[in-house]
Amino acid sequence: MTGLAGVFLFLGACPSAAPEVTGPGQTQVPHLPPQQAMDLNREGKLLYRDGHFAEARAKYEASKKADPDFLAPWLNLACAHAREDRFAEATEQAVALIRHAYVPGAREVMQAADLGALQIRPQTLAELQSAQAEAALEWAKAVQGAFFFVARTQPPVRLPGQGVLVLGVNQEIYAWLPGSGRYLPLTAEDGRVLAFVQSSDGRHIVFARAGRLVRMPGQPDLLRGLGLRQLDLATMALGPVLDLPGDVRELTMWDSGRGVEIGVAGQSGGWEKFRFDGAALVPAGATRVRPSRGVALTAAGVTSSKRAVADAACGFSARDEVDAQGLPRVRILAPKRKDFFLDARFGAGLNGLPFPDAPNSPSKALSPARKTR
């Protein structure tokens, strides 16, 4: 199985250097705030819990100043205003968070219990919705021509033993912006992204969301509770989560030129083919035809590309490999300069990642690390 052709298209600027790791709203993957910022935010939370909201706000402001890309104090500051019925100030802070980091800022604002009061007031709700609409379009514009990949945001969850295991894989889709070398998150799915493909026209991403891993003695490992979801890259609009019924031995996703198609092999080994329209799986025939390009997901994780994904315009390419410690990563092969890696220190893959501790992990088949030029 190869990586999806066209996933590495630089439509605007070609990479000029290794990825940067700073810049408001555009940071490394994953973002690790400095200790000072985390300490100030923690002190603010303690004051917040004791009802000292003014003092808490001062701590949150200091935390934001120490690291503008640490999003927790942005949200906490809005909540502290709301708890004192300072709804204008709370709305201002919530809007600032949405504009600063649409993904995942908008989701955090709309789900925060302490900001619920903003959503029952027509005026403040309208301000939040307006900010979301404008920020979504700006985010979509920023990721045009970016390179999309899956990254682990925290150390991988180990999956030893047998039984029904929760796939807490800590993975999201990110965009690397080649012109600046910076990153933007594309998904905020509680770390449940397993694999993705992009449509050949570049308009959509379809990704698989985690459920559970089923390991039983004497039986093949299976995936249970998988879901599919579509992201519109022109608007950042997310479609509904489509749950796949039953246990799955293999999920295959590819672009046929007519849209993203899905192959599902169930527990018995039977195989069905579907076309995914963003809201439903439309049956597309039961004859098994292996696609020449695409992504396969099994209980061992994603079968990643063995061949480089290339960009003809810039002369750059990317490939999956593992480092000396066996950690998956994406190498950017840069002509006439040293190769470099996307800054995802807990693991990265072109279309997904192997599962830790899984037998027959695809990482064993990846290209080994080699010295840079």
- How does pLDDT run across 65-121, given as a tens digit for each residue? 999 889 999 999 999 999 999 999 999 999 999 999 999 999 999 999 999 999 999
Phi and psi dihedrals of 109, rounded to 5? -60, -45
What mean pLDDT value characterizes the chain? 84
Fold of 35-141: 1.25.40
Say if residue 1's pLDDT is above 60.
no
Residues 206, 262: Cα–Cα separation, whole Å: 10
Confidence of residue 363 (pLDDT cuts 50, 70, 90): low
Least confident interval from 63-72, 134-143, 295-304, 359-368: 359-368
Residues 371, 344: Cα–Cα separation, whole Å: 19
- How does pLDDT run across 177-201, given as a tens digit for each residue? 877 778 899 999 999 999 999 988 8
- Among 31-35, 189-193, 200-204, 323-327, the range with the most confident prediction by mean pLDDT is 189-193
Higher pLDDT, 9 or 162: 162
Mean pLDDT of all residues in 302-315:
60
CB neighbourhood size of 323 (10 A): 13
Chain centroid to CA 166: how far? 18
Q: Which two tokens stand for residue 199?
A: 């449509």
Is residue 302 a contact partner of residue 12, using CB atoms and an 8 Å limit? no
Is residue 93 a contact partner of residue 74, using CB atoms and an 8 Å limit? yes
CATH 1.25.40.10, the chain: domain bounds:
35-141
Please, is 306 exposed, middle or buried when counting C-beta atoms within 10 Å of its C-beta (0-12, 13-18, 19+)? middle
Q: Which amino acid is at 209?
A: R
**Helix/strand/coil percentages in the chain, nearest 5:** 25, 30, 45
227-232 and 204-209 strand pairing: antiparallel
For residue 191, give the nearest of 170, 211, 210 by alpha carbon.
170
Question: What does each C-alpha distance from 164 to 212, 214, 224, 246, 299 come to in angstroms?
Answer: 6, 5, 9, 14, 12
Higher pLDDT, 9 or 267: 267
Residues 61, 244: Cα–Cα separation, whole Å: 44
Residues of the chain with pLDDT > 90: what percent? 53
